[in-house]
């Protein structure tokens, strides 16, 4: 299940939301990508998940593994 772990964004001095900096933001981006891919795959939208990987994570091996895992899963199980 994909639930936010908190700390992805911080309040700016002006009161608006800003993106967290550095590795924490990158981790949040990866987490959001993986959640999106799982959601698409679990709702039988494999082609859309593959397009997301091509657009947002072409060099991300785990993103490919997620989609490939659903693509090769036996629908009867």
List the single range of 6-15, 22-31, 47-56, 60-69 with lowest mean pLDDT: 6-15
Percentage of the chain with pLDDT > 70?
66
Please state, in angstroms and rounded to a whole number, the distance separating the CA atoms of residues 70 and 77. 12
Residue 7 has pLDDT above 50, yes or no: no
3-state secondary structure 33-75: HHHHHHHHHHCCCHHHHHHHHHHHCCCCHHHHHHHHHHHCCCC
Higher pLDDT, residue 56 or 11: 56
pLDDT 10s digits, 31-63 = 999 999 999 999 999 999 999 999 999 999 999
Please state, in angstroms and rounded to a whole number, the distance separating the CA atoms of residues 19 and 11. 9
């Amino acid at each position: 299940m994909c639930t936010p772990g908190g700390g992805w964004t911080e309040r700016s001095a002006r009161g608006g939301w800003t993106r967290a900096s550095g590795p924490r933001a990158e981790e949040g981006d990866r987490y959001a990508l993986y959640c999106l891919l799982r959601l698409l795959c679990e709702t039988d939208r494999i082609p859309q998940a593959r397009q997301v990987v091509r657009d947002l994570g072409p060099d991300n091996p785990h993103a490919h593994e997620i989609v490939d895992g659903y693509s090769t899963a036996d629908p009867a199980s």
